[in-house]
């Protein structure tokens, strides 16, 4: 139990768990919640499978254990906007609300754990550090959403693509050992061109064109369609339009 105590400490690794992500080790947290006997069941989804349909009851709380899910809003005429990425340790659900406004879909193979609703609410009251952590996570997501609003409202297509690549690269890099040498970074895109387009408020053609342009300009290298190498992180960051001093590894 002791390794789980410091659940809020940033990028902490318990030393036993292979998953390490963002502010907390997801498995540790899940384990702790399981020990508190709050987890009702685990459930697996295949890539592409729908977790929640828009309009479904949302009377539950669940958390991503492994894999990636996306959160999408759709307009009547079919225009779609992705509004969130759910990564390991992220929560979905809104007990007390009757309906969801968006679809949740598995992008990769996905494992989620579902909580017992009533005990969860009691736990919220009785276990302050969990309640506090939920608030912190929600505030983080709000900050991320606000950064996306800037991207969606004011950035050019090239800046949007660069920003997305930078974000994925950063997340990917944070999973590996932090290295002094950030010369080159390589990763696989977890999204199709269409999903990227939905994320960025573009069409898939524009995404494809801008990826080609970045390749032509030497900002990225493509091996196949999904495998991306960034020879110079600095050069990529130049393209994002963001303040340059932001620092790549947070």
Binding residues (CB under 8 A) for its own copies: these are: 71, 73, 75-77, 79-81, 83-84, 94, 101-102, 124-126, 128-129, 131-132, 134-135, 138-139, 141-143, 145-150, 152-154, 200-201, 241-243
Degrees to nearest 5, angle at CA 84 with 130 and 97 = 60
Distance CA 250, CA 182 (A): 13
CA distance 198 to 207: 10
Q: Is residue 62 within 8 Å of residue 113, measured between CB atoms?
A: yes
Beta bridge partners of 249: none
Residue written as tokens 């997801």?
26
- Segment interacting with DNA (CB under 7 A) among 7-15, 56-64, 175-183, 194-202: 194-202
Measured in degrees and rounded to the nearest 5, phi and psi for residue 96 equal 100, -25
| Closest approach of DNA to the CB of residue 211, in Å | 5
Question: Smallest distance from the beta carbon of 50 to its own copies, in angstroms?
Answer: 18
C-alpha angle 87-90-94 in degrees, rounded to nearest 5: 135
Query: What would the x/- binding string for DNA be over residues 152 to 181, using CB under 7 A?
Result: ----xxx-----------------------
Residue 132 binds: one of DNA, its own copies, none (C-beta under 5 to 8 A by kind): its own copies
Residues that bind DNA (CB under 7 A): 156-158, 192-194, 201-209, 211-212, 222, 225-226
């Amino acid at each position: 139990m002791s390794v789980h105590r410091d659940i809020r400490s940033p990028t902490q690794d318990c030393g036993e768990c292979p998953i390490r992500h963002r502010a907390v080790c997801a498995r540790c947290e899940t384990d702790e919640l399981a020990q508190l006997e709050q987890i009702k069941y685990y459930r697996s989804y295949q890539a592409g499978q729908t977790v929640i349909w828009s309009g479904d009851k949302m009377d539950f709380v669940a958390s991503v254990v492994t894999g990636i899910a996306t959160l999408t809003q759709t307009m009547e005429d079919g225009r779609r906007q992705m509004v969130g990425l759910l990564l390991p340790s992220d929560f979905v659900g809104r007990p007390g609300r009757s309906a969801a406004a968006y679809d949740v879909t598995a992008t990769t193979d996905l494992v989620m754990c579902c909580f017992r609703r009533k005990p969860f609410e009691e736990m919220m009251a009785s276990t302050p550090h969990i309640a506090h952590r939920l608030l912190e996570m929600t505030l983080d997501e709000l900050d991320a959403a606000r950064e996306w609003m800037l991207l969606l409202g004011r950035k050019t297509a090239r800046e949007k693509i660069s920003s997305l690549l930078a974000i994925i690269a950063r997340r990917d890099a944070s999973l590996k050992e932090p290295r002094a040498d950030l010369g080159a970074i390589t990763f696989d895109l977890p999204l199709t061109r269409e999903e990227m387009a939905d994320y960025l408020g573009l069409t898939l053609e524009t995404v494809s064109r801008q990826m080609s342009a970045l390749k032509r300009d030497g900002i990225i290298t493509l091996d196949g369609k999904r495998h991306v190498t960034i020879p110079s992180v600095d050069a990529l960051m130049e393209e994002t339009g963001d303040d340059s001093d932001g620092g790549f590894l947070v």
